[in-house]
Amino acid sequence: MTENDNKRSAGGRGKPFGGHKSPKYSFAKGGSQASLYEKKTQSIGEYVGREYGQLMRMLVLQLKEATLPVPQLPDQATEQQKLIWGKDYDMYLKKKDRYEDDMAKVFAFILSQCDEDMKNKLRSDSTFEAIDDTFDVISLLTMIKDAVYNAHDKKSPALVHPKPCNGNLCVKECVGRNPRTHNLTRTHNLIVR
């Protein structure tokens, strides 16, 4: 049994990313971008969770950074407490370094899952350089999401009606529905012609 086989059998770690076969993040897929974004982000979150742990999964799927607690040295600590605190602080620094290394790897992986048009769009944003320098995964995913969800708005903003359905606006989707039973608070993102 090889070392890779051992990694694969240990809780799924080392398993290749299955989402690589799906399309990359893009804003030029003609209406399916939002669905693709959700599916792609979910598969990336599951993958980085297997490879780098639960904290990276939470970072991608919940857009929450972990807060690693800093060990505190008690006031008037004894020599034994100082030794214990020193070891705890060393462990904290190792965890923090690993977290930052993993975050950089996840950032690079997410960026590799963008097509060239999306990468160019991201790089053209004035804040991208700062995000890239700090490996800010949350800001990167937010930028991708904004680009994906706003792609159709940039092309023809008049075609999407974002207002809640009032029974009259939704010509195609709501025709023939009983106004008393139809969900009038539902927001439709449909093209009105």
The amino acid occupying position 5 is D
Examine the domain organization and report whether 190 and 127 are in the same domain: no
pLDDT at position 3 is: 41
Three-state SS at 23: coil
pLDDT class of 185 with cuts at 50, 70, 90: very low
Assigned domain for 74 exists: no
Average of per-residue pLDDT across 95-104? 96
Examine the domain organization and report whether 144 and 109 are in the same domain: yes
Three-state SS at 164: strand
pLDDT tens per residue across span 102-147? 999 999 999 999 989 889 999 999 999 999 999 999 999 999 998 8
Torsion of CA 166, 33, 15, 102, to 10 degrees: -90
What is the residue range of 169's domain?
156-193
pLDDT at position 147 is: 86
Examine the domain organization and report whether 145 and 163 are in the same domain: no
Examine the domain organization and report whether 140 and 161 are in the same domain: no
pLDDT class of 156 with cuts at 50, 70, 90: very low
Assigned domain for 80 exists: no
